[in-house]
Every structure is written in C-alpha cells, then in structure tokens.
C-alpha cells in the first residue's frame, strides 16, 4: 500500500477507508461502514440503469437536487472551469507550477490498461482499490511527501468521457480526511463511510460506485481523479459530480488521475 508519509506510521485498516496514525497516537474511533450499507439492489433495476451508459441518462430527479444542479451550473459559469470536462479551476490559477502533483495508482490495473471484469457491470461491479500520494514536481526532490498542512481533505471522481451521451459519472467521493491515502476494494453503496467521507450519486442513479458498462465497440476510457483541497466543503451525501465540482471550484491545490480502459 502507498502512504502519504515517508516516515513509519501505524495504519488502522478499515473497510471503506484506511486511516494513518503516527507512532504513539491513539487510534481514532470510527463506526463500521458495514452498518451503513443499504439493502442489495434489484438485479433488473441495475441492468436497466447500467444499460443507459450506452445511451441517454435516466435522470436522478429530486426537486431539491434539481435546484442544486441548477445552482451548481450557475456557479460553474460564474467561476469558470478548468477544461471542457467542467473540471474545477485550480487554486491560485495562473500562478507558478504547483509544488506537488498527485500520483494515483490501483493494484487492479495500471495506467492505460484494461480494468478487470470484476470491477465492471459484466462482473461483480465492485469498486477497485485506489491509492494516492503527493509527489514533488521538482525531479531533484522526487518521492512521496507528507500531506502539506494546507491540504484539508480529498475528493475523488470517476468518469467515462467516451460515453455516447457525453461524460458519464461512475463514482463520486468527498470529505476524505487529509490523512487518508487509499480506498479499499469493494466500497459499499452507503452515503457515509468510515472516517467521515461521503459518497455521491453516479449516472446510474445510484449511490457510490457503478462500474464500466459501455456499449459494444471500441474500449472506453475511465478516468479516476483525485483532488487535494485547500478547505472543507459543505456538501451532503448524495451530491452529483457537477455539484461536487462546483463546491470545490477554487479550492483545488493539487490533482492527479489514473486512466483505465474497458470495452465489450
């Protein structure tokens, strides 16, 4: 596993998140994420929703969510976005190159390679384990670094930019504490995870992770992005990717990504 700190640390390993403690520090008390897991989804509902990745979205409509999405759109237009995918504007945009970048890795696949079937709708559809670390941009000072004090937390998104209907969201996680450097495989579809992290809704209209499920043809790209944030965000569980990106706009200190592929 990859840690943010280059010095020896104890780690409390939990389903949902992995929290680090410095030597001598008392372990943090957290609730088990198993107790927060909802009932299993109906198979026919899942199949109908997953089929939508090859066509039009089924809107996850709730009145307050619609208002939130409208406000998020206004915020993105007012604040500007980092690129055509609607990514948030980097913190202190236009300044010198950031001192760090985020290196994102997974034991399930390497950059540009095929995502295993178990993490897709053709398999168990469980989320892959994801790890990240801060790495100095200066080659002379390469290597993992402890999280700078200005990093107040992390957020993660996963999307398919090759979906026929446009960018398709597969995973939204936020409120990840600054001391967390990994998410275990098989994160449950729960609003709240151990350690305080929260999950949003994907474009299958479900909480948590929804794996690749493309139509037949050329393999699609699936981009897992991690953002290091300069402040806390006030966003309840169940937010969309668009709402998250609006909330973190201007707060992103560093970011990184891991791209995998899957085709049918």
pLDDT tens track for 20-64: 333 333 333 222 223 223 333 444 444 544 555 655 444 433 434
pLDDT band at 149 (very low <50, low <70, confident <90, very high): confident
**Could you tell me the CATH superfamily of domain 60-262?**
PEBP-like (3.90.280.10)
Please name the residues in contact with 124: beta carbons below 8 A apart, sequence gap of 6 or more.
118
CA atoms within 13 A on the CB side of 184: 14
**Would you state the pLDDT for residue 145?**
67
pLDDT exceeds 80 at position 253? yes
pLDDT band at 14 (very low <50, low <70, confident <90, very high): very low
Distance CA 174, CA 243 (A): 11
Give the predicted TM-score (pTM) of the model. 0.70
Q: What percent of the chain has pLDDT over 70?
A: 61
């Amino acid at each position: 596993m990859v840690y943010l700190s280059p010095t020896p640390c104890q780690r409390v390993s939990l389903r949902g998140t992995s929290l680090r403690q410095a030597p001598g520090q008392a372990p943090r008390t957290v609730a088990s994420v198993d107790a927060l897991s909802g009932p299993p989804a109906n198979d026919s509902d899942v199949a109908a929703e997953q089929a939508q990745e090859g066509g039009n979205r089924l809107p996850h409509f709730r009145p307050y969510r619609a208002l939130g999405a409208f406000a998020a759109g206004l915020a993105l237009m007012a604040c500007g976005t980092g690129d055509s995918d609607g990514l948030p504007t980097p913190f202190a945009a236009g300044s010198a190159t950031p001192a760090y970048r985020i290196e994102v890795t997974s034991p399930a696949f390497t950059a540009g390679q095929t995502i295993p079937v178990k993490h897709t709708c053709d398999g168990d559809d469980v989320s892959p384990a994801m790890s990240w670390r801060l790495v100095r941009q200066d080659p002379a000072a390469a290597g993992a670094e402890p999280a700078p004090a200005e990093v107040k937390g992390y957020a993660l998104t996963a999307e398919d930019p090759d979906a026929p209907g446009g960018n398709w969201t597969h995973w939204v996680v936020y409120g990840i504490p600054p001391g967390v450097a990994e998410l275990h495989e098989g994160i449950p579809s729960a609003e709240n995870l151990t350690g305080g992290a929260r999950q949003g809704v994907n474009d299958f209209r479900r909480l948590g992770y929804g794996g690749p499920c493309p139509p037949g043809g050329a393999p699609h790209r699936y981009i897992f992005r991690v953002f290091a944030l300069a402040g806390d965000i006030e966003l309840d569980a169940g937010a969309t990717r668009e709402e998250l990106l609006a909330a973190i706009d201007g707060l992103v200190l560093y970011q990184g990504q891991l791209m995998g592929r899957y085709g049918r």
